Amino acid sequence: MLQAIAFYFFSAILIGAAFMVIAARNPVHSVLFLILSFFNAAALFVLLGAEFLAMILVVVYVGAVAVLFLFVVMMLDVDFTDLKRGAQQYLLPGIAVGGVLALELIFAIAWRWTVTPHAIGAAAAAAPAGVSNTVALGRILYTDYIYYFQVAGLVLLVAMIGAIVLTLRKRPGVRRQSVRRQVSRTPADAMTLIDVEPGQGA
Amino acid sequence: MTRDLLTLLPELILAVGAMAALLIGAFRGGKATKFLSGLIVLVMAAGMYFVLTAPDASAFRGAFVVDGFSRFAKALILLSAALCTMMAQRFFEDEGRVRFELPVLIAFSTLGMLLMVSAASFISLYLGLELQSLALYVLAAFNRDSARSTEAGLKYFVLGALSSGMLLYGISLIYGFTGTTDFAGVAAAVKAAGTGIGLIFGLVFLIAGLAFKLSAVPFHMWAPDVYEGAPTPIVAFFSSAAKVAAFVLFIRTILVPFPQAIHQWQQVVIAVSVLSMALGAVAAIGQNNIKRLMAYSSIGHMGYGLLGLAAGTQLGVQGMLFYLVFYAVTNIGVFVCIQAMRRDGEAVETIADLAGLARTRPKMAFALAALMLSLAGLPPLAGIFAKVYVFLAAVEAHLYIPALLGFLASCMGAYYYLRIVKVMYFDEPARPFEGVMGAGMGTILALSGLFTILYVFMPAPLLYAAGTAAQSLFR
């Protein structure tokens, strides 16, 4: 009973916040509503007993992605009302195409959707008893799935190299502090003494 | 665990080599590039040694597999990648834009290809594919000050991301149907439960995603623009090592998990194959830019190769593997020639620039002519054997009409290869190209040309190797 109340409470706020993300006129408000909806989705995961996913959602999406969005929205001067004006005229065809596709998918898949017995068995497999699912994931992530984990790391490394290759440029005229140059400076490099004749200096 | 790591030895060597090169480059900067290119070529050679001596094995709970098929493909990929690394070093030296990330990215991309070739589950397939593609997107845009190169990189990236999405959608449907991502597990599930509509949906999306990577019609739109815009040695890399890896991945991903669903995928593969052959034959005729022409030629050749897969037999796979050897070796030779087309310190790339090459550079013209005639499929050069093996396999699998259409497309396509030979030998000479080819590039071109011309005298060893490789897939 209590769980059901919590579920409806969080989902109602989630749906409301999600709607406000696209409805809000001010993009900063949109991002704030996005953060609200992330938190409520995390609460739903906790209700399902998937606390690891809830944590990840808060840490990654609220902590990194949403804050990044906020930075972008505040830093870049993008006129969002101007961008949205175009969206209005694509609204109807968009809904029509999407609706037809959805109907087709429902028709094709709900018609005779079957799965193998193995798939049903895999879906019903319970998490190991006695440990939280963070521990359970950690146990297999670094043992059975170490290969996938490491290759994913390589993919990220390549992404990093790529970003540097494509964007990093040596800019001329940037003043950087060079400690070596500062320390090795002698009075002889920096000062010149000029004898000015009396009456000559202007 | 140790045994698993030993199975992965060639890949580990390449990964460690690439990261070491990255560190050295980060400290020494652009002037270390020549050394790093050499280092990466050596690392690839070492990897090749361990690839060829490795026994059959399966590691990481069936995610990674080493067999005759993967050995053959890896040797070919490493060879092409090493040659392309040398070409790239030379090209960017000529352009005066040497940067140390170049050999590093080529090495990471090659690593991704090796992982693709050995992938025996859908997750390792996807990770290998992404590692390879991500490095390739960056390489395509490597000339970041040229608008065409960045355009090529961006187009490749956007369409590649779209195709990855389709691939993942297909994989998730297949997983939903079978409950496993292992190739062996999927094969067992399909055998036990037959093909459901979810599986066919997934299979079609999977084929679409893979056909994108192969640039087979109707997923070929990116190829001409990317080939035209990307730096020449990188295009050579795309059309040799990357095509080999994508093709081999295609073969394994279709034949190992879905032997029971052959009637479902066969029609799709035949359609893609015939359309690619037709478009490759027709669309290249109007091209003036030789790199665009090679892009359409590559689309057509992917169609011929897919005909072998459509047969779904050991003979078909053997024919395809030989096709890949011929295609990779020939393309590297052709792109060495394209790379040598320089005037006034810039690369030129229209077919008219080749006019009268037989008089200004007789050796280069002879080699290029041999390669072009081989691509056209004229006897007694290597290309005709590749086509014959594939067509024979198709006929043996009772695919008479696709084989006939392939033959017709091959005859039509011969026109534009012959036109290049005609321009080189019979047109009034244009201004000669500047610079010399150099010993390194000359050797690569000579080897490629010699393979093309002399294959007719020694067909047995390579065919035998391809046969053994194909056999390991059908046990």
Q: What is the DSSP string of B324-355?
A: HHHHHHHHHHHHHHHHT-EETTEE--BGGGGT
Cβ-in-10-Å burial (0-12, 13-18, 19+) of A146 comes to: middle
Name every chain A residue with its beta carbon within 8 A of the beta carbon of B22: 161
Residues B445-467 have pLDDT tens digits of 999 999 999 998 988 899 999 99
Enumerate the domain spans of chain B: 2-473
Residue B296 has pLDDT above 90, yes or no: yes
Going by their DSSP bridges, the two strands B64-66 and B342-343 should be labelled as unpaired
**Which structure tokens are listed for A194?**
């000029």
Quick one: average pLDDT of B16-31? 92
Residue A162 and residue B134: Cβ atoms within 8 Å?
yes
Q: d(Cα B450, Cα B382) in Å, to the nearest integer?
A: 10
Lowest-pLDDT range, A145-159, B238-252, B336-350? B336-350
The answer to whether residue B14 neighbours chain A at the CB level (below 8 Å) is: no
Q: d(Cα B392, Cα B378) in Å, to the nearest integer?
A: 17
Instruction: State the pLDDT at residue A125.
Output: 67
Instruction: State the pLDDT at residue A140.
Output: 85
In the numeric block, the tokens 């897939």 are attached to: B473
Residue B179 and residue A152: Cβ atoms within 8 Å?
no
**Which structure tokens are listed for B224?**
């001409």
The answer to whether residue A178 neighbours chain B at the CB level (below 8 Å) is: no
Query: Helices then strands (H, E): number in chain A?
Result: 10, 0
Nearest to A162 among B123, B127, B138 (CB): B138
Confidence band for B46, pLDDT divided at 50, 70 and 90: very high
Residue type, B395: V
DSSP string, B134-197: HHHHHHHT-STTSHHHHHHHHHHHHHHHHHHHHHHHHHHHHHHHHS--BHHHHHHHHHHH---H
Residue A115 and residue B201: Cβ atoms within 8 Å?
no
Q: d(Cα B67, Cα B52) in Å, to the nearest integer?
A: 10
Q: Would you tell me how many other CB atoms lie within 10 Å of the CB of residue B432? A: 11
Half-sphere exposure in the Cβ direction for B383 (13 Å, CA): 25
Q: d(Cα A10, Cα B165) in Å, to the nearest integer?
A: 31
In this complex, how many residue pairs, one in chain A and one in chain B, have their CB atoms less than 8 Å apart? 107
Confidence band for B292, pLDDT divided at 50, 70 and 90: very high
Nearest to A109 among B128, B189, B198 (CB): B198
Residue type, B254: I
The answer to whether residue A117 neighbours chain B at the CB level (below 8 Å) is: yes
Please name the residue of chain B whose CA is at the shortest distance from the CA of residue A125: B179
Q: d(Cα B206, Cα B381) in Å, to the nearest integer?
A: 35
Residue B131 and residue A166: Cβ atoms within 8 Å?
no
Query: Using N-to-C axis directions, what is the helix angle for B122-140 and B147-178, rounded to 10°?
Result: 170
B302: alpha, beta or left? (left if phi > 0; alpha if psi -120 to 50): alpha
Instruction: State the pLDDT at residue A81.
Output: 66
Quick one: average pLDDT of B20-31? 91
Residue type, B468: T
Interface probe, candidates A101, A104, A147, chain B, greatest B C-beta count within 10 A: A147
Residue A108 and residue B15: Cβ atoms within 8 Å?
no
Nearest to B178 among A119, A151, A154 (CB): A119
Residue B252 has pLDDT above 70, yes or no: yes
Residues B261-275 have pLDDT tens digits of 888 899 999 999 999
ipTM: 0.93
Name every chain B residue with its beta carbon within 8 A of the beta carbon of A162: 105, 134-135, 137-138
The answer to whether residue B122 neighbours chain A at the CB level (below 8 Å) is: no
Please name the residue of chain B whose CA is at the shortest distance from the CA of residue A158: B135
Instruction: State the pLDDT at residue B4.
Output: 86
Q: What is the pLDDT along chain A (202 residues), one digit of tens a residue?
A: 888 999 999 999 999 999 999 888 888 888 899 999 999 999 999 998 888 999 999 999 988 888 888 888 888 776 666 766 777 778 889 899 999 988 988 877 777 677 777 777 776 666 677 788 888 888 888 888 999 999 999 999 999 999 999 988 878 888 888 888 888 888 888 888 888 888 776 6
The alpha-carbon gap from A192 to the nearest alpha carbon of chain B, in Å, equals: 37
Quick one: average pLDDT of B46-58? 93
Instruction: State the pLDDT at residue B31.
Output: 87
Residue B198 and residue A121: Cβ atoms within 8 Å?
no
- Give bridge partners of residue B66 from the DSSP assignment: B57
Residue A108 and residue B197: Cβ atoms within 8 Å?
yes
* Cβ–Cβ under 8 Å, residues B334 and B376: no
The closest of B16, B226, B18, B12 to B103, measured between CA atoms, is B18
The answer to whether residue A122 neighbours chain B at the CB level (below 8 Å) is: yes
The closest of B92, B51, B43 to B73, measured between CA atoms, is B51
**Phi and psi angles of residue B130, each rounded to the nearest 5 degrees, phi first:** -70, -40
Which residues, at least 6 apart from A185, have a Cβ–Cβ distance to it below 8 Å? none
Name every chain B residue with its beta carbon within 8 A of the beta carbon of A165: 99, 101, 105, 138, 142, 144
Residues B378-433 have pLDDT tens digits of 888 999 999 999 999 999 999 999 999 999 999 999 999 999 999 999 988 888 88
For residues B202, B203, B209, B212, the Cα torsion angle rounded to the nearest 10 degrees is -150
Q: d(Cα A165, Cα B19) in Å, to the nearest integer?
A: 15
The alpha-carbon gap from A199 to the nearest alpha carbon of chain B, in Å, equals: 55
Residue A164 and residue B101: Cβ atoms within 8 Å?
yes
Instruction: State the pLDDT at residue A65.
Output: 84
Across chain B, mean pLDDT equals 92
In sequence order, which ranges of B68-144 are alpha helices (DSSP H)?
Answer: 68-95, 101-118, 122-140
In the numeric block, the tokens 């992605």 are attached to: A65
C-beta contacts of A9-12 below 8 A and 24+ residues apart? A10/A40, A10/A43, A10/A44, A10/A47, A11/A40, A11/A44
Instruction: State the pLDDT at residue A7.
Output: 94
Name every chain B residue with its beta carbon within 8 A of the beta carbon of A110: none
Instruction: State the pLDDT at residue A80.
Output: 65
DSSP string, B399-430: -HHHHHHHHHHHHHHHHHHHHHHHHHHHSPP-
pLDDT exceeding 70 applies to what percent of chain B?
A: 100
Q: Compute the radius of gyration of chain A from its Cα atoms.
A: 30
Residue A121 and residue B128: Cβ atoms within 8 Å?
no
Q: d(Cα B376, Cα B412) in Å, to the nearest integer?
A: 9
Residue B196 and residue A161: Cβ atoms within 8 Å?
no
Q: Is the peptide bond between B380 and the residue preceding it cis, with omega within 30 degrees of 0? A: yes
In the numeric block, the tokens 């606390």 are attached to: A51
The answer to whether residue B193 neighbours chain A at the CB level (below 8 Å) is: yes
149-168 of A, contacting B, C-beta below 8 A: 151-152, 154-155, 157-159, 161-162, 164-166
